[in-house]
Chain A
Amino acid sequence: MFFKAVVSFKKAPVYSRQIIAQFVYIGRKSFPIVLITSTFIGLALGVQIGTQMNPITPHWMEGGLILRSMLLEMGPIIIGLILSGRVAAGIAAEIGTMKVTEQIDALRSFAIDPIEYLVMPRLIAAMFAVPTLLVFADFVGIFSGFISSFFTINLSWASFVKGMRHDFHTADVLTSLLKAYIFGIVIVIFGSYFGFESKRGAKGVGQATTLAVVWSSVDILMLDYLISAILYFV
């Protein structure tokens, strides 16, 4: 399905309207929840790392620790899991409903390829929307990390920035984006796959939705580890 969708990318201009609609759905409507979750993860990171700073660790290191935790793990994982819950579930429910109400059959009966029409626009939209959301989540998370470090160990902005400078690597940013990009693909593919496989009836659609969330979450966590491990070893 993924490859079929990618092959149909060449027809993307025909479906620009669908792509934009999906971008709005995946991107803008996920914005509030991403804002809330990344704020609280950042706050929690600040407290957690702050309390582990002992007298011989220079406090300014906290900036770098928060930066890297957020970029490499927390940001991508929050985005991945939140969007599994929201977007993969939504896609599975929508495509599943179309399947059981014969709307997919209707597409095929008019010679419209359901993968090209339903999956491809979502895939392209996710490839742009998910990394964008990630950049946003990273910024929010790091900043709220600073706020809570300030209240936990009274860290100043200057030391926080010093820590970040010390530990900043362009490769980390790229890793973060790479993860978001791949997670976006996973979310759309699992959501679509279980939607298309949905059994008849409302129960079938419910099951499809659950399966989509479970499988995309699990896969995201496994891929997260794999990507981290591979990039560490190369």
Chain B
Amino acid sequence: MIKVRDLHKSFNNHAVLNGVNLELLDGEVLSIIGKSGTGKSVLIKSILGLIEPDSGSVEVDGMEVVGMSEDQFNAKVRNNISIVFQEGALWDSMNVGENIELALQIKKHLDPEEREEIVIDSLRKVGLENIRYVYPEELSGGMMKRVAIARAIATRPKYLFYDEPTTGLDPVLSNVINNLIKKLNAELGITTLIISHDIKGVETVSDRVAMLYEGKVVHTCNAKEMWQQENKIFNDFIRGRMGINEY
């Protein structure tokens, strides 16, 4: 379980996270929704230590991670959590297979055959066994995201964070990705956190939904009941009624 408590982060005196409280339960799929620029990416990067929060606490499986050194994050946190970055963030000087192999360096005890097997298996899980020697620049947006997912699951993480996995994809591809997320959660038991704008996708994929607004989580609910909520901000947002001035 991951517990975020009263997390704060400002950039140049502008408070982005202003007391975030959030729990990610083992085995679930939780989606975080909210306008762009509200700090959703900052939040997930803070959990992994890629951004250092100003104050607050993040507990991963009961272990406080805020204030850890880079080495401690590497040894205790990053080997259990993977991120699928927004544009994939594949390393573009390397082909698809090499991307996965490099990520696997975090698992030091593996021998070459095991690594090889994991590379092939991860690509198979996202339905892309044939593109191992292709370079990222030759991939379409949807394929890039799927390779990023393959790279993220290769390390067998307990937790997987997706940063806007369907943004920029057409509805058909969005469906493919959403189904994949659901499948990986069910088959591998990966606890999943998704950042998303794709309300329909959120409804089908998630167990719970949380909304980030002005630096705080203002509402959390079950995904199945998301259309029957009382919270005005939440309702306006999922129905696309948030005033243009608020952007």
Contacts and interface: CB of A to CB of B under 8 A. Distances in A.
Q: Do A and B bind each other?
A: yes
Interface of A: 98, 101-103, 105-113
Instruction: State which size class the interface on B falls in.
Output: 20 to 34
Contacts of B90: 103, 106
Nearest to A117: B102
Interface in B93-127: 102-103, 105-106
B100 to A, nearest CB: 10
Contacts of A111: 73-75, 78-79, 105-106
B214 interface: no
B89 A110 contact: no
Nearest to A105: B50
A105 B83 CA distance: 10
A105 B102 contact: no
Contacts of B87: 101-102
Contacts of A106: 83, 85, 89-91
Nearest to B163: A102
Contacts of A102: 85-87, 89
A102 B41 CA distance: 11
B89 A105 contact: yes
B56 to A, nearest CB: 20
Given A102-B85, A102-B89, A105-B50, A110 B45 contact: no
B48 interface: yes
A80 B85 CA distance: 38
Q: Which A-B residue pairs are the 9 nearest by beta carbons?
A: A111-B74, A102-B89, A106-B89, A111-B106, A110-B103, A102-B85, A111-B78, A105-B50, A103-B89
Given A102-B89, A103-B91, A110 B50 contact: no
Nearest to A18: B93
B155 interface: yes
B92 A110 contact: no
A109 B89 CA distance: 11
A105 B75 CA distance: 16
A156 B198 CA distance: 80
